[in-house]
Chain A
Amino acid sequence: MDLSAGIVRFIESELTSPYNTVYTYERYFITKLQLHSALCTTTIAAVNQILAPLITKHSERFFCRIDDSHPLKSPSSIIDKILRSKEDAKNKRDKGEESTKEYDLNNFTAEITDLARFRVVCNFLSDVTEICECITQSETITKFLTVDKISNSIRQHKRITGERSVKIVLKRKSPPALFLEIQIMTQLQEAWDKKDHYLVYEKRRSSSKGDDDNFPTYLDAKMSAMAELLYVADDYFDQLRKEEVEVDDK
């Protein structure tokens, strides 16, 4: 993938030899993220245990699957996040507002909450809720991790940009404290995300200017509209399923 000029500058100025080249910088981050990687593996195993009875319960249909295709945030995304955090903090300071959290090479492993992540992709919207409850309440998880934050954009009534999903941020109880994010979403929202990743996200990150001002805003608007459209479809499917269940019960 092409790297933005800002990311290349960061690699060359912030990383030390032999990692300070675009060919070698990834190795620096891969080495730093081994514990996150292990946390991701063991949490997937734990979530599989939690999901097994639910999958059996809904065995007549597809219920959910775990997507482990990107268990770690890519090194270029990490740098991007560090750079954005610095920019956001500077903007806040310039406006005289309270500064937001700034990431750097010393704190990113302990502070960024989505370095390790995986997805649970569900069939219906109501499945998302059921899975979220099971995961956050299961002792299989809570014995080792605390639920740090749940961002639920599924039933939010205000306008949002991006896919509607539940993101559970879990924090390891024993030191070193580190985070992991589980994203729970429907198949339609996942499909949206994959298209957005290709059409918007990657293009914005690799843009030579490296800023939002030069990015065509209509693309954001259209993608946002598509996410909402798919949410309406999800909602409608959920209604249909509930009606189906009621008919079956009668």
Chain B
Amino acid sequence: MRRISLVLLSALLPLVARAADSATVEAQRAQVEALRKEVAGQLQLQAYDLLDELVYGWTQAPVFPVETPVVLADVTVPWGFGSGLQALLENHITGLLIKNPRSHMRLAHCPACTSMVVRSGAKGTVVSRGVDEPEALSAASAQSGSHHALFLDFEVEGSALVLRARVTSLEPSLPIVFAKTLSSSTSTAALLRSDEHLKSAAEARQEYLDALQGRGPLLVPMRLGIRSYASRPGDAPVMSAPFVWLQLGAELSLTQTRAWTASLSGGVSWAPQLHTAFLGQARISRLLTGSVTSLTHPDLYGFVGLSVISVHGQSALAFQEKVPTLENLKLQLTGNEPTATFSALQVGLELRIKNRLGAGIFLENLPSLGSAQAIGRYVNLGIIQFQSLGAEVSVCF
């Protein structure tokens, strides 16, 4: 019985293995296809950019002095890619040439130019594409009035996409009258342009820089925030109410991509019968989500700051080291309102959207209020304690 089982097992094993193999191959094919689609998506934008740059060049320095009919003879995509990408690129160059008559190129319809033609002569019979045998085209009167053919060849070379464009005169010797190589590695960063308003590489680069820098290196942020102070556990003599702050300042970008920023601001807080408070703050922020501010996604900044806060009014009693006494209240009744001035070290996170809107949270360490009777701790890290917790929203002008 055991022997029979072994024989059966040995007979079934190759079948199971083959099924597993075919499943693996199918999975690999699906994976490669998915990868190919992803790459084609990125490639398409780069190829569009190169075509934009090519046609922009023609609008500045046309190949022909007057409008000339040209046959789009061939668009070849990188080796390994299919006709889908080819169709997209054909459509894009057609759209560009229609919308940019200053290029002096008008696309002509010539089905015979790209089909296979047969020509027999004294030397033999030649089978080739129409554009490769202009004699055959002219004999058949099939040139559709066009005497030039445009060839576009795209190829992937390492990390760059290279476009080789040439225009050939459709005469027997097939002379090349224009040739140009453009590469995405030497071109400007990918930037989709409008077909009607093509830009030079320099202009496109400047637009890219402007988009990166937002509206210049200097911003005016206005922040509306709230700070609350922890109370001591147990019987605190007084408790501090949350402070609502309105801050206005200036923020300077320390790098061209806003990876580091520094800001100075002043703020005011007022609560009827309770306090009038002033604040001066310096802050340095570092972009945490990458090294470049994103044009499409929110950016997360981490920041550290130093504040000096001066509180005038009843709320100031909470920041004093001693328990409020009758003497304090007496002073208040006689018109001498209590004041407290202290510094705060701040750490926090801020989420920014295109450097226009922001929302942040922060913790503050109040080094001079370590022994204040009314102030407790929200977070205790041993070497540093955070007595204050806050949140803010900001609008940048």
**Bound together:** no
Chain B interface residues (CB < 8 Å from chain A):
none
